[in-house]
Amino acid sequence: MSIEDNSTRGQNPRTSNTGKRCNRCGRFTCICNVTQNVEVNVTVGDQRATGAIGATGDPGPTGDPGPTGATGRTGATGAAGATGRTGATGAPGRTGATGATGATGATGATGATGATGATGATGATGATGATGATGATGATGATGATGATGATGATGATGATGATGATGATGATGATGATGATGPTIPISVNRIYVANFGNGNVSVIDGNTETIITTVAVGSGPNAVGVNSVTNEIYVVNSGSNNVSVIDGSTNTVIATVTVGLFPRAVGVNLVTNLIYVANSNSNVSVIDGSTNTVIATVTVGAAPEGVSVNPTTNRIYVVNNAGATGSVSVIDGNTATVIATIPVGVAPIGTDVDRLTNVIYVANSNSNNVSVIDGLSNTVFATVPVGGVPVALGVNPVTNRIYVANELDDTVSVIDGSTDTVIATVPVGASPSAVGVNPLTNGIYVANESGITGSVSVISGNTNTVIDTIGVGNSPDGIGVNP
């Protein structure tokens, strides 16, 4: 067995640094490493057994430092130790020179708008500047809606007729034209006059061509008024004693219907356009009859004691004369609505009335005032009053000649009024107690019923001469008259 020290083999014992720190003394070069590197090799035969490591001897004296060995490889970094306490802050160093200004950063987003501040006080108005040049005229605006039509002014008085010019030379006769188609047959009832005989309960039918009675038609009790529809050729007779209206067919002169109306009917008016018949009843109303069915379709309340009715078919206005009261009146009915739209004061105790449909003028006979009220149908006002004879009770109008004929019951006369001047131009004596007037505008014949006497009569006046040209005897107490021209 041999003991061999391998720690000094091929190296200096003082520099046998393995590059590691000593576990005992913490040095890189120490004697501890020399002692630890002693190996005991025991060789037994061909095999060497390693002997046990001997006990470590006492450290020898430190030798002189050997030359620094080559730097070994850097060991792995140990785990970081705990951070020590922060030392006291040193005194501030001197401020370095200001560095160059960096580039301007991007503009940030706009902040929210702040609340509007209070409005400041208005400043003083500055001096008015010079007027600028007038601008070019703008385009014409759209035309506004047409305003409502103003009321039509009252019809002026008719001017005087000019002198007739000289008759021109007669022209040569033209060639005869072809014969036209045959026209409708003329009704045999043309130019007929119907007289209501109050005392007999019948109607006398007069042929205006011959001025003779051609038949008598029985009706109700106390007939006192007659209305004619020349379009339908039907005649409406008011029977005050039986409170109804008899409808006569003018072609056959027979009663074809009887229509019950109000109490003690006194007057009747006919609208040729609407075929409506208006009957004034003593109990202060008007019955409206539909001529196509001969039935009452409406009742209109009017003034007290209505005595007369007239109709303007052009304006569809109905005029009802109210007899009672210190001053009489006229109720104006709108035929479209069957309502009273106006009431017009007239004279005392008015009875008869008629309308000039061409001039839209209404005439009312005031029996106790001995005059005639002239009413403008447009304004519903009296614009003239014409004095006539004693106790005027009835009147009739010729729209063709613009003449008005007024029956004066007390004087037994007829006053003739010129409608263009509203003056009386003639007075015609007739029979006793004239009570009704009928006019044929086509023949210009005027028919006046004379009520007094055992047998009544009808005076026939020529409108051309204002004279009586015939007298026809009729029934007892004729009180109403109507004409189909």
Average pLDDT over residues 403-420: 98
Q: Chain-wide mean pLDDT for the chain?
A: 82
What pLDDT score was predicted for residue 104? 63
Q: Which of 111-120, 269-278, 356-365 has the lowest mean pLDDT?
A: 111-120
Query: Secondary structure of the chain in the HEC alphabet?
Result: CCCCCCCCCCCCHHHCCCCCCCCCCCCCCCHHHHHHCCCCEEEECCEEEECCCCCCCCCCCCCCCCCCCCCCCCCCCCCCCCCCCCCCCCCCCCCCCCCCCCCCCCCCCCCCCCCCCCCCCCCCCCCCCCCCCCCCCCCCCCCCCCCCCCCCCCCCCCCCCCCCCCCCCCCCCCCCCCCCCCCCCCCCCCCEEEEEECCCCEEEEEECCCCEEEEEEECCCCEEEEEEECCCCEEEEEECCCCEEEEEECCCCEEEEEEECCCCEEEEEEECCCCEEEEEECCCEEEEEECCCCEEEEEEECCCCEEEEEEECCCCEEEEEECCCCCCEEEEEECCCCEEEEEEECCCCEEEEEEECCCCEEEEEECCCCEEEEEECCCCEEEEEEECCCCEEEEEEECCCCEEEEEECCCCEEEEEECCCCEEEEEEECCCCEEEEEEECCCCEEEEEECCCCCCEEEEEECCCCEEEEEEECCCCEEEEEEEC
Q: Is the pLDDT of residue 287 over 70?
A: yes
Mean pLDDT value across residues 293-316: 98
Amino acid in the structure at residue 333: I
Report percent pLDDT > 90 for the chain: 59
Find how far residue 160's CA is from the centre of its chain: 46
The predicted pLDDT at position 11 comes to 44
Q: What is the pLDDT of residue 372?
A: 98
- Per-residue pLDDT tens over the stretch 180-234: 554 444 445 689 999 999 999 999 999 999 999 999 999 999 999 999 999 999 9
pLDDT band per the 50, 70, 90 thresholds, residue 149: low
Residue bearing the bigger pLDDT, 153 or 34: 153
